[in-house]
Amino acid sequence: MSDRSRDRPDLSVDIAGLHLRNPTIVASGVLGFSLKILRRAVRLGAGGVISPSIGIRSSEGFRAPTVVKVDCGYVTAMGLPNPGASNFAAELGKLSSDFPLIINIFASETNEFQRIVSVMEATPAKAYELNFSSPELDSESKDVAKRIESISEVVRVVRAKTKRPVIVKVSPETEARKIAVAAHDNGADAISAINSVPAMAIDIETGYPILSNKAGGLSGRAIKPIALKYVYEISKNVDVPVIGCGGITTWQDAVEFFYAGASAIQIGSSVGERGLRVFGNVVDGIRSYLVKKKRASIREIVGFAHRR
C-alpha cells in the first residue's frame, strides 16, 4: 500500500453498480420528498439519498400525531404519505442525471411493484429499495412482506424490469435472514437491514396510545445493537452486500457496522437531532479512523468481525 492511499483512504462504495462517493446514505422517509432538502443533504456530505416509500397512488398517510419522541429514540407511524409514483416521477425530472438517488417502493401486489418501477425507469434514479419492512405497511402490503414466496416473486419481476441495482429492505419482525437468501437468489443486489422495530407510547394522562395509528416503529439509538446483529447475521450467512441502518449517529457507530459486515450505512433519526451536518461529521470521522488504522479503504474492514 502506498503512503498516499494510507493518507487519503478511498471512501467510495460500489454496490452492484451503485457508485457512491462515500458510504453514508439518508434513510428512507426521514427527510420527506422535497428535492431541495434531498439536494442539501448531498451538499452537506451524504453519499446517497433514499426517498420516502412511494406507492402507486398518492396518500396523505395517517392523521397526527404520527411521531412521538421517547427517551431512546422515536416511535413513528406516518402511514407512508406520498404523492404517488407518476407525480413523483414528474418531479424527479428536475434532478441532474448524476444525483445519487435511490427510490424506496412499497406496494400490496407484485403487479403494483412492477408498475411503479416501470414509471421510475424514466427518472434519473440510480437504484431501487423495496420496502418489505415498515411496521406501518397496510395489511395487504404486510402480507406480501411476510411471505418468502411473495418476496421472491416481487424481486424476480422487478429484476426483469430494470438493470438498476435492486435492494431489499428487511424488518426485524420477519425471518430476515431467510428473506435475504430468497431475495438474493431471485436477483436482489443488496439488503438493507433494518427498518424500525414495532413499538408504542401511551399518554398517562388519558391512558390512550399517543399515535393516531396506536402502534408504530421505534427508530434511533435504542435499535442500534439490534440492527448490528441483523447486519452481522445476514452478511455472515448470505453472499450479498448489506447496507446497515438503525440508530447510527456517530462515525464510531458507522465503523462498528462496517466491522459487522455493512458495505454502506443509512442515517435516519439522528438527522432529527444533529441536523444534516451529521453526514459530513460521520464521513470525516470514518476518514480519520482509516488513516489512524492505516487502512486504504472501507472494504478492508467490512466483515472483519466474522473472523473470530
Q: Of 66 and 295, which CB lies nearer to ligand FMN in the complex structure? A: 66
Minimum Å distance from CB 203 to ligand FMN?
20
User: Which residue minimizes CB distance to ligand FMN?
Assistant: 29
Q: Of 48 and 246, which CB lies nearer to ligand FMN in the complex structure? A: 246
Minimum Å distance from CB 307 to ligand FMN?
27
Minimum Å distance from CB 25 to ligand FMN?
10
Q: Of 22 and 131, which CB lies nearer to ligand FMN in the complex structure? A: 131
Of 154, 144, 248, 120, which is closest to residue 193 (Cα–Cα)?
A: 248
CB-based contact 82:55 (threshold 8 Å) = yes
Alpha-carbon gap, residue 109 to 143, rounded angstroms? 9
CB-based contact 87:68 (threshold 8 Å) = no
Residues that bind ligand FMN (CB under 6 A): 27-30, 52-53, 67, 74, 76, 78, 80, 104, 131, 134, 169, 195-196, 219-220, 223, 245-248, 267-269
Q: Which value, to the nearest 10 degrees, does the dihedral of the CA atoms of residues 112, 153, 101, 261 take? A: 150
Q: Of 74 and 88, which CB lies nearer to ligand FMN in the complex structure? A: 74
Alpha-carbon gap, residue 29 to 22, rounded angstroms? 20
Minimum Å distance from CB 276 to ligand FMN?
14
Q: DSSP secondary-structure letter at 28?
A: T
Q: Of 99 and 106, which CB lies nearer to ligand FMN in the complex structure? A: 106
Q: DSSP secondary-structure letter at 104?
A: E
Minimum Å distance from CB 74 to ligand FMN?
5
Of 157, 80, 167, 83, which is closest to residue 125 (Cα–Cα)?
A: 167
